[in-house]
Chain A
Amino acid sequence: MPDTLKPVDHAALRVNQAVIILFCAVSYILNFWPLTAFTALLMTLGTLIGRPAFAFIYQGFLKPLHLVNPDIVADTPQSHRFAQGLGAGFLVLAVAALLAGWAVAGWILTGIVVILAALNLFTGFCVGCFFYFQLSKLHFFRSAS
Chain B
Amino acid sequence: MSFDTFSRLAFVLALAALGWLVYRVGIRARLQRLAACPTPGFQAGNPALVLFSSPDCVPCRTLQKPEIAHFQQDWVSKVQLIEIDVTERPDLARAWGVMSLPTTVVLDKRGTAQHFNPGIVRRSDLIRQFASLEKLS
Q: Write the residues of chain A forming the contact surface with B, with a CB cutoff of 8 angstroms.
A: 1, 3, 5, 25, 28-31, 71, 73-76, 79, 115, 118, 122-126, 129-130, 133, 136-137, 144-145
- Is the Cβ of B59 less than 8 Å from the Cβ of A124? no
Report whether B58 and A74 are in contact in the complex, using a CB–CB cutoff of 8 Å.
no
Q: Which of B35-43, B77-85, B87-95, B115-123 contacts A (4 or more CB under 8 A)?
A: B115-123
State which residues 1-53 of B face A: CB under 8 Å. 4-5, 8-9, 12, 19, 23
Residues of B within 8 A of A30 (CB): 5, 8
A-B contacts, 12 of them at CB < 8 A, read: A25-B12, A28-B12, A29-B12, A73-B67, A74-B66, A75-B59, A75-B62, A124-B117, A125-B100, A129-B59, A133-B58, A145-B56
Of the candidates A29, A118, A124, A137, the one whose C-beta lies within 8 Å of that of B120 is A124
Q: Is B69 in the interface zone, CB < 8 Å from A?
A: no
A5-B62 in contact (CB<8A)? yes
B127 partner residues in chain A, CB cutoff 8 A: none
- Using CB atoms and an 8 Å cutoff, list the residues of chain B in contact with chain A: 4-5, 8-9, 12, 19, 23, 56-59, 62-63, 66-67, 100, 117-122
User: In the complex, are the beta carbons of B119 and A124 less than 8 A apart?
Assistant: yes
CB distance from B25 to the nearest CB of A (A): 14
- Establish whether residues A74 and B62, one from each chain, have CB atoms under 8 Å apart when the complex forms: yes
A79 CB to nearest B CB, Å = 8
Extra contacts, 19 of them, besides A75-B62, A79-B59 (Cβ < 8 A), are A3-B58, A28-B8, A28-B12, A29-B9, A29-B12, A30-B5, A31-B5, A73-B67, A74-B66, A123-B119, A124-B118, A125-B100, A125-B118, A126-B119, A129-B59, A130-B100, A133-B57, A133-B58, A144-B58
Of A31, A79, A145, the residue contacting B4 (CB under 8 A) is A31
- Bound complex: CA of A3 vs CA of B62, how far in Å? 10
Query: Which residues does chain B contribute within 8 Å of A137, judged by CB atoms?
Result: 56
Chain A residues whose CB sits within 8 angstroms of the CB of B23 once the complex forms: 122-123
For B19, what are the chain A residues with a Cβ–Cβ distance below 8 Å? 115, 118
B131 smallest CB distance to A (angstroms): 19
What are the residues of chain A within 8 A of B56 when measuring CB–CB? 137, 145
Distance in Å: Cβ of B56 to nearest Cβ of chain A: 6
CA distance A125 to B59 in the complex (A): 12
Tell which of A29, A118, A136 touches B58, judged by Cβ atoms closer than 8 Å: A136
Q: Which A residues are CB-close (under 8 A) to B120?
A: 124
